C-alpha cells in the first residue's frame, strides 16, 4: 500500500513539474511575441513618419511666369528649381525677351512671380518674392538685391563695382536673398553698411 502511495506522490510531482514548465514556457513565448509586436508597430510608425517627412520636403511649389515667354501662366515645379527651368516650362523666351536682365541660376520659392522683360524695359521687379508682391508705397523705388544688375547695384551708397559684383556672385552661388539682412553674408558688407542701405533695398 505504501509503495502505491509513493508512486502516486511521485506521479503528482512530475505533473506539477510539467505544469510549472508549461506555464513558464508559455509566459516566455507570450513575452517574446509581445516584443515582436511592439517592434513591428514602432518600425511601422517610423516608416510612416519618414514617408511623411519625405513627402513634405518634396512637395511641389507654384510659381507665376509672366512677360516675354511663349506660354505665361501658373506652373508647378519642384523645390530648389532654378529660374531657367521655369522659363522652359513656360515655353521658352520670345524673340522680344531681354535675357540679360535675368539670373538663370536663381533658386525658386513657392508663390514667386517671374517677369521676363522685353528689350528696352526697365530691369525692375523681374523676380518677385511673395513678400514683394504687394508692398507699401515706395517699395518699387527700392533696389531689389535679388534682381539688380551691376549698374543698378552701384547706385546704392557705399556700393562700388567690386561690391556690386560680389553681390551678384553670391546670388549665383547661393540663390536669392531671403531677406535684406542676408546681404551681410556677402564679403565686405557688414552691419554698418546694411544700416545705411536698409531703407533703399528690398528682396
pLDDT value of position 94: 92
Better-predicted residue by pLDDT, 127 or 167: 167
CA 74 to the chain's CA centroid = 20
CA atoms within 13 A on the CB side of 24: 6
The grid coordinates listed for 2 are 505504501
Could you give the 3-state DSSP secondary structure of residue 33? helix
pLDDT value of position 143: 87
For residue 190, give the DSSP letter.
Answer: -
Distance, in Å, from the CA atom of 48 to the CA atom of 27, rounded to the nearest integer, reads: 32
pLDDT value of position 104: 85
What mean pLDDT comes out for the span 84-90? Answer: 92
Instruction: Give me Rg for the CA atoms of the chain.
Output: 35
pLDDT value of position 138: 47
Q: Which residues pair with 50 in a beta bridge?
A: none
Give residue-wise pLDDT tens across range 89-143.
999 999 998 888 788 888 888 888 888 888 887 654 445 554 444 444 345 578 8
Better-predicted residue by pLDDT, 166 or 14: 166
Distance, in Å, from the CA atom of 154 to the CA atom of 167, rounded to the nearest integer, reads: 11
pLDDT value of position 135: 42
What mean pLDDT comes out for the span 166-191? Answer: 88
Give residue-wise pLDDT tens across range 36-63.
555 455 555 655 655 555 444 568 888 8
Give residue-wise pLDDT tens across range 142-154.
888 888 888 888 8
What is the average pLDDT score of the chain?
75
What mean pLDDT comes out for the span 149-175? Answer: 86
Amino acid at each position: 500500500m505504501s509503495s502505491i502511495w509513493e508512486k502516486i506522490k511521485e506521479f503528482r510531482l512530475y505533473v506539477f513539474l510539467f505544469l510549472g514548465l508549461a506555464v513558464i514556457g508559455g509566459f516566455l513565448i507570450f513575452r517574446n511575441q509581445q516584443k515582436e509586436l511592439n517592434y513591428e508597430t514602432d518600425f511601422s510608425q517610423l516608416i510612416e513618419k519618414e514617408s511623411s517627412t519625405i513627402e513634405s520636403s518634396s512637395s511641389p511649389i507654384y510659381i507665376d511666369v509672366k512677360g516675354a515667354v511663349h506660354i505665361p501662366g501658373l506652373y508647378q515645379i519642384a523645390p530648389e528649381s532654378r529660374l531657367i527651368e521655369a522659363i522652359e516650362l513656360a515655353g521658352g523666351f520670345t524673340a522680344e525677351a531681354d535675357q540679360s536682365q535675368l539670373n538663370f541660376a536663381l533658386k525658386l520659392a513657392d508663390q514667386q512671380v517671374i517677369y521676363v522683360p522685353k528689350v528696352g524695359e526697365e530691369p525692375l521687379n523681374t523676380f518677385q518674392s511673395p513678400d514683394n508682391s504687394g508692398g507699401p508705397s515706395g517699395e518699387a523705388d527700392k533696389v531689389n538685391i535679388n534682381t539688380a544688375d551691376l549698374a543698378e547695384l552701384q547706385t546704392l551708397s557705399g556700393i562700388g563695382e567690386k561690391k556690386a559684383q560680389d553681390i551678384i556672385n553670391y546670388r549665383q552661388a547661393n540663390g536669392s536673398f531671403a531677406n535684406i539682412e542676408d546681404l551681410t553674408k556677402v564679403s565686405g558688407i557688414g552691419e554698418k553698411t546694411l544700416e545705411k542701405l536698409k531703407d533703399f533695398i528690398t528682396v
